[in-house]
């Protein structure tokens, strides 16, 4: 068997669109309050893409920053992989628009669809390409324009979500010398299909005047049921990633920013303190595939990640899908 190439994180980037949607803005639209939203979710505001922006535009900004930080040229890229549930078009892939805009002329490009687990799915795919020697530099992105798919009359869902993009450039560890990907896991259970889904717009319920009138293109969720699943799954995944390591080796957990209460409950189950957990949901809400790479980039900027220590990424979402990664920074 060919030896496995160790893979690292050469650079990160993040982009949040400029339009701020606060809880007070929702108070004007719906029967809700800043107090309820903060208490139940931890969210104070989220960003929405400008009318002229689509998901690839957010990705391009995050990707340029990640390439700059990695000190690499777009022409160095072998692959672009984007995890998103809100691509610019159903056809072609969002990644091809990004590849072209960046001038990544040597790169292949495709999207992965795993909802909030989309970034970790893209990351694990990129890691596998490099580990097997089939690629050297892979740009992986998690990005969403969820604001385009929110039912602004459904207070149980619309207040949760925002838009944004996070990117990473993966490279052989021997070259980038940081961020070794040590462990990965991905899982799924399609029995949970109806907990979070968009009924319309695909081949089962193609877009029509009737489907749009019914609001079939909006995100629907069973929040309470997702909540229960999420707490246990997040705790189990973190435990799986750190098994066998001394707790003093763990620098930071970067979880999917789903709901501050879910994150706190999962961490309490593990008997850990929130000091070692990165949360920025108050500023961005749940940006689905974008939460983990945006949060990790911000954690690095804030110097929350200790050199040589371990970082855990953990996410789950519609499908149901889930994933986790252990990185030695
Ligand atoms: O990334 C994966 C996608 N994310 C999710 O699936 C979200 C996971 N779930 C959650 O974050 C939480 O379940 C929610 C934030 C969605 C809801 O919080 P909760 O503590 O589970 O509330 P609940 O659904 O049990 O609702 C409690 C009450 C209800 O009123 P009644 O029936 O008790 O009179 C809701 O109608 O809160 C009401 N409510 C609201 N009130 C004010 C629901 N949304 C709102 C709102 N403002 N925005």
Instruction: Decide: helix, strand or coil at residue 149.
Output: helix
Alpha-carbon distance of 328 to 185, in angstroms, equals 16
Q: State both tokens at 59.
A: 């990705």
Q: Is the CB of residue 245 below 6 angstroms from any atom belonging to ligand 1?
A: no
Q: Is 116 a catalytic residue?
A: yes
Site to substitute for ligand 1 among 157, 164, 220, 227, most atoms within 8 A of C-beta: 227
Q: Is the pLDDT of residue 216 over 80?
A: yes
Tell whether ligand 1 has an atom less than 6 A from the beta carbon of residue 227. yes
pTM of the model as a whole? 0.97
- Cα–Cα distance between 267 and 254 in angstroms, integer? 12
Residue 129 contacts residue 138 (beta carbons within 8 Å): yes
> Number of C-alpha atoms within 13 angstroms, CB side, residue 65?
19
- The answer, yes or no, to whether any atom of ligand 1 lies below 6 A from the CB of 36, is yes
The arrangement of strands across the sheet holding 310-317 comes to 180-188, 321-328, 310-317, 250-255
The residue whose C-alpha atom lies closest to atom 38 belonging to ligand 1 is 156
| Ligand 1 site-directed mutation target among 25, 29, 156, most atoms within 8 Å of CB | 156
- Cβ density class 245-284: b for 16+ within 10 Å, e for less: beeeebbbbbbbbbbbebbebbbeebebeeeebbbbbebb
Cα gap 23→16, rounded to integer Å: 17
Q: Report whether residue 226 contacts ligand 1, using a CB cutoff of 6 Å.
A: yes
For residues 105-128, give the mean pLDDT: 98
Q: Quick one: average pLDDT of 302-307?
A: 97
Average confidence (pLDDT) over 156-173? 98
Residue 222: CB within 6 Å of ligand 1? no
Which residue is catalytic, options 116, 145, 158, 176? Answer: 116
CA distance 165 to 268: 29
Check pLDDT > 80 for residue 1: no
What pLDDT was estimated at residue 3? 84
d(CA 261, CA 221): 17
Kindly report, residue by residue over 12-70, the tens digit of the pLDDT.
999 999 999 999 999 999 999 999 999 999 999 999 999 999 999 999 999 999 999 99
């Amino acid at each position: 068997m060919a030896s496995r190439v160790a893979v690292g994180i050469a650079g990160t980037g993040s982009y949040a669109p400029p339009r701020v949607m606060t809880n007070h803005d929702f108070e004007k639209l719906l029967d809700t309050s800043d107090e309820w939203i903060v208490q139940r979710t931890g969210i104070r505001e989220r960003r929405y893409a400008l009318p002229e922006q689509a998901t690839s535009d957010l990705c391009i900004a995050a990707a340029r920053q990640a390439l700059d930080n990695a000190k690499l040229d777009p022409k160095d890229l072998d692959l672009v992989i984007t995890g998103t549930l809100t691509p610019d078009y159903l056809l072609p892939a969002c990644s091809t628009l990004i590849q072209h805009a960046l001038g990544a002329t040597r790169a292949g490009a495709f999207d992965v669809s795993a909802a909030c687990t989309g970034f970790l799915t893209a990351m694990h795919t990129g890691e596998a390409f490099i580990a097997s020697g089939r690629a050297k530099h892979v740009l992986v992105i998690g990005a969403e324009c969820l604001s385009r798919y929110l039912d602004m009359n459904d207070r149980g869902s619309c207040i949760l979500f925002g838009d944004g993009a996070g990117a990473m450039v993966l490279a052989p560890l021997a070259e980038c010398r940081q961020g070794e990907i040590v462990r990965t896991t991905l899982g799924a259970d399609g029995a949970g299909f109806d907990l979070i889904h968009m009924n319309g717009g695909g081949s089962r319920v193609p877009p029509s005047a009737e489907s749009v009138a019914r609001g079939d293109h909006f995100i629907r969720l069973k929040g309470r049921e997702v909540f229960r699943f999420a707490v246990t799954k997040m705790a189990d995944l973190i435990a799986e990633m750190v098994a066998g390591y001394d707790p003093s080796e763990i620098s930071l957990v970067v979880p999917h920013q789903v709901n501050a209460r879910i994150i706190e409950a999962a961490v309490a189950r593990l008997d850990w303190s929130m000091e070692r957990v990165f949360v920025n949901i108050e500023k961005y809400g749940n940006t689905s595939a974008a939460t983990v790479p945006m949060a990790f980039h911000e954690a690095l900027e804030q110097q929350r990640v200790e050199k040589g220590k371990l970082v855990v990424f953990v996410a789950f979402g519609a499908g149901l899908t889930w994933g986790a990664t252990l990185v030695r920074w």
